[in-house]
Amino acid sequence: MSTRTVLPALLLFTAVFIAAFNLRAGISSLGAVLADTLDAFQVGGSLAGVITAIPGLFFAIFGLLAVPLAIRLGLTRTLFLGAALAVIGLAARPWVGGIWVFIVFTALVTTGIAVANVLLPAWIKNHGGRHIVALMTVYGSVLGFSGAVGPLTAVISDAPDAWRWALFLWTIPAALQVLVWFGLVLRVGRDVPSSTPPRTAGHTGGPVRSVSLWRSPTAVFLMLFFGLQSMHAYIQMGWLPKIYVDHGVSAATASLALALTGSFNIIGGLIMPAIIHRLRSIVWLPVLFSALMGAGYLGLWLAPATTPMLWAALLGVGGFCFPTAIALIPARSRVPLVTARLSGFVQPIGYVIAAAGPLLVGVVREATGGWSVILPVLMALCALMAAVGFRAARNVSIDDELAAHA
């Protein structure tokens, strides 16, 4: 049974905008002040790997719980709950007195964000109607903007406690998100993901509940593609400033380089949903983006301090893999319930892959004292990402692949 509620276009776009704006800044802002945070708590660099691995790990754990929770409570109520958890974590963590309490509140932030990561594409599919492509464009581009501006709060001041305010400032948009989604809860109520397509002519929901997504090759390759690109993204958010600083680049330039890398996600978010919607074949795009990312790592390996912004730009264009992967979730599924199941499959399992990356980088960095091993491995992983992305981008309906195994 469909539970879609017709919502005004302005409310749809406002809700998606404010949710997307809060999906990265609370995480990327920490990478830019990670060294100051560790110094303030007087802990060693070994905990940096733990902190930078938290987003991927908790996105995986709580992303798996998001779809069952949404089926029970409704999409909008679950998204509101996630927003509330995130604002609590953002407001509290800069002011705690111990590193492990800081880690707990960071985990709370990422728990709230994980819910929106998984459920927002399904919410758009459920309520977006004729605005689905436009809403996915807003989602992808604003999410990229969020990741880009997050590190910029690190340059607001050079005072000893400036890192606390750099993190706390993101409580403000998070609180606005809570207000918007509370209003949606009052209006929408319990909106479980629909098992029928938005426009039912010619299609049925099919076996959306009974067949495992592991039976869909496209879903599996999309999960691997999402996992690899997320791994690169979180390594960059957590470690890119450190790579630059270790090679003699100033901390301010390193933060700006990270912001530049993230800013390209804005462009990718603006163009990728429309490209995927309109083009018959896009299999070459993941290959191109992966190659450009690999070129950025090559520059960091051979001449990191020579043209730091160039390498950041190459990594940023390579980061188009992220909006591509996100846009493929609704593009390769027809009914909202399949979109929700696919998002709840692709993102949590993909984030298991992502979580391993920053943690292993921290371990290897501490063991070797440098980046000469890490950067070539990252280039090799770009080649693997190109291969799985090529297969994930095929124009195939996952609904049909599930139906074939019914």
Quick: pLDDT tens for 145-171: 887 777 777 777 667 788 899 899 999
How far apart, in whole angstroms, are the C-alpha atoms of residue 28 and residue 234? 9
How far apart, in whole angstroms, are the C-alpha atoms of residue 387 and residue 177? 38
Sequential pLDDT tens for the chain (406 residues): 444 567 889 999 999 999 999 988 888 788 778 888 888 888 876 677 788 778 777 777 877 788 889 888 999 999 999 999 999 999 999 999 899 999 999 999 989 998 888 889 889 988 888 888 889 888 878 887 887 777 777 777 667 788 899 899 999 999 999 999 999 999 987 887 665 555 543 444 445 567 889 999 999 999 999 999 989 987 887 789 889 988 888 888 888 888 788 778 788 878 888 888 788 788 999 999 999 999 999 999 999 888 999 999 999 999 999 888 888 888 888 887 888 888 888 888 887 887 788 888 888 988 888 899 999 999 999 999 999 999 999 988 898 898 887 6
Short-list 323, 228, 332, 333, CA closest to 285: 323
CATH number for the region 9-197+206-403 comes to 1.20.1250.20
pLDDT at 378: 96
pLDDT at 237: 78
The kind and range of the H/E element at 270 are: helix 251-278
- Count of all residues that appear for the chain in the document: 406
How far apart, in whole angstroms, are the C-alpha atoms of residue 93 and residue 308? 31
DSSP H helices in 93-170: 99-127, 132-149, 162-168
How far apart, in whole angstroms, are the C-alpha atoms of residue 353 and residue 56? 8
pLDDT at 121: 85
How far apart, in whole angstroms, are the C-alpha atoms of residue 75 and residue 12? 14
* DSSP tag of 335: S
How far apart, in whole angstroms, are the C-alpha atoms of residue 347 and residue 367? 30
DSSP H helices in 279-373: 284-302, 308-318, 321-331, 336-368
The radius of gyration of the chain from alpha carbons, rounded to an integer in Å, stands at: 20
pLDDT at 176: 97
Query: What are the residue ranges spanned by the domains of the chain?
Result: 9-197+206-403
Quick: pLDDT tens for 99-127: 999 999 999 998 999 888 888 988 998 88
pLDDT at 46: 67
Short-list 87, 152, 150, 157, CA closest to 115: 87
Give counts: helices (H), strands (E), the chain. 17, 0
pLDDT at 77: 95
Query: Cβ distance 233 to 262 under 8 Å?
Result: no
pTM: predicted TM-score of the whole model, two decimal places: 0.74
Strand, helix or coil for residue 1: coil
Per-position DSSP letters for 226-254, written without gaps between them:
HHHHHHHHHHHHHHHHHHHHHTT--HHHH
Tokens of 128: 């977006």
pLDDT at 48: 77
How far apart, in whole angstroms, are the C-alpha atoms of residue 103 and residue 253? 27
Tokens of 200: 């039912």
pLDDT at 105: 94
Tokens of 108: 């709370």
pLDDT at 26: 86
Contact partners, residue 405, CB within 8 Å, separation at least 6: 207, 211, 215
pLDDT at 82: 95
